[in-house]
A and B are shown apart, each in its own frame.
Chain A
């Protein structure tokens, strides 16, 4: 299994540009997540999905959009990029997240985004 894969690894955007961060998992996990990690800060949840066709906002959703048309893919869309979106973005997945007890999240390698 490749686990959770993310592309691209690095990207530089100009203010106002748009882009899509790709995330794919091959573990048949139903739950998928997008986080951002700013220097010296904990991971913050942007959006999550409990299954294909279902998405919901996390703690910091403004400026982002997601879709979940398949179990495997969970792309994150940035519209009108702003310097405040400079961060490292991590995608993660887990199985049956709603069981609540001991599910494990698997993280991708991250995408480092700089908006100038």
Chain B
């Protein structure tokens, strides 16, 4: 069964600290993996997209890694800011077609001063 599991469900960190969010998946055949940031009351916004051959991709203070062999990805946030408070969603795409996106339930990150 094609699934995307994220951990932890929620996380609270102090401003300025780093954190790492995890995503494990069983989607096959794999096409790409994306991380989205969803602010409260808003739609998701793409942070990174990685294909099978990419191990790491950065977007400012966000760095995503992918291990396609173990089917794991992580999103590392450096020097967190209050504006990083949001849900972070891992989405895995299966090859071909528009009806092949599998969404994780997200990690709710809260950054406190």
Contacts and interface: CB of A to CB of B under 8 A. Distances in A.
Nearest to B102: A42
Given A107-B45, A110-B42, A45 B99 contact: yes
A37 to B, nearest CB: 9
A100 B105 contact: no
B78 interface: no
B101 A4 contact: no
A4 B105 contact: no
B46 A31 contact: no
Contacts of A98: 96-98
A107 to B, nearest CB: 3
Contacts of B105: 40-42
Given A42-B104, A42-B106, A45-B101, A100 B44 contact: no
A94 B34 CA distance: 14
A92 B32 contact: no
B65 interface: no
B51 interface: yes
A110 B43 contact: yes
Contact of A104 (B49, B89, B97): B49
A108 B32 contact: no
Contact of B43 (A42, A45, A58, A108): A108
Contacts of B99: 45, 48, 56, 58-59
B49 A97 contact: no
Interface in A49-74: 50, 56, 58-59
B66 interface: no
A97 B97 CA distance: 7
12 contacts: A43-B103, A44-B103, A48-B98, A58-B99, A94-B98, A97-B97, A98-B96, A100-B32, A101-B32, A102-B51, A106-B46, A109-B41
